[in-house]
Amino acid sequence: MHPLLPSLAAACLYAGVTGYQGLRLVQRTMPDKRLLLLLGTLALVAHGVSLFVQLLSPSGLHLDFFNASSLIAAAVILLILLALYRMPVENLLLLLFPLGCLTVLFAEFAPSGTAPAISEQPGILAHILLSILAYGMLTIAVFQSLLLLLQDHHLKHKHPSGLIKNFPPLQTMESLLFGFLLAGWLLLSASLVSGWIFLDNLFAQHLVHKTLLSVLAWVVFGLLLWGRHQLGWRGYKAIRWTLAGFCLLMLAYFGSKLVREFILHI
């Protein structure tokens, strides 16, 4: 099956539901939640089909930049659609549906580059996918924490403007942040476990920096989730811990490469 048809279907559905939401926003009326869920789910299903065809092939896993971006966008949209059943997060979809539309089109039409297909054992492929999804989900959590900081600043100074006015309530945005953090932490946990099972040696010289920093990030995010549940951590404390964990994760993915190539020369 060629991914062109599901990719175009997903892009059209994302664009259509974005137009519908934008029209309702201009008219100052609330969009129909059931219609958003229906169209969003159909778009996500088409998006998932196109991803399945693009990622998997007999030669291995095609996980270039645009495919990875499309995968992360689909995962975030899925999480928000699930949250929509319990929280008023419709207006966040006004940002995410266009993101889904763009990523699915780029994954289909942008040049794939020279990155070869990853032809590893299924367990290692699962580890790679889980790592990318964890990194993507926690990146979205960082953006969510910055939006939360911006919204809190505007509300404290009593001059919310623009799209800030249409954001969900502060408590809902905070709950969504911890939803992203929990999803990212679980994916990171699965990534570490799958790496321990399927990789020969997680603490080999070329992996030790990435492993240790990833474990430290896992601990930081775990402590933050524990502090939220047991001690009621929120606000600036939650944002600081989120940024600290993300910095460790950034060092794990990019800093380890710097250490290997410019310090250890391996």
What are 141-157's pLDDT values in tens digits?
A: 888 888 888 888 777 77
Which pLDDT score is estimated for 29? 83
Average pLDDT of the chain to the nearest whole number: 83
Give percent of the chain with pLDDT exceeding 90: 29
Point out the least confidently predicted range of 7-21, 144-158, 186-200. Answer: 144-158
In the predicted structure, residue 222 carries a pLDDT above the cut 90: yes
Phi-psi region of 109 (alpha: psi -120 to 50; beta: other; left: phi over 0): alpha
Which pLDDT score is estimated for 262? 47
Of residues 198 and 165, the one with the higher pLDDT is 198
The pLDDT tens digits for 19-71 are 999 898 888 788 888 999 999 999 999 999 999 998 887 777 777 778 888 98
C-beta separation of 192 from 200 below 8 A: no
For the record, the structure tokens of 71 come out as: 């995968």
Which pLDDT score is estimated for 201? 64
Largest CA distance in the chain: 60
For the record, the structure tokens of 223 come out as: 């402590």
In the predicted structure, residue 107 carries a pLDDT above the cut 60: yes
Could you tell me the pLDDT band of residue 204, with boundaries at 50, 70 and 90? low
E-strand stretches of 16-128 = 56-57, 60-61
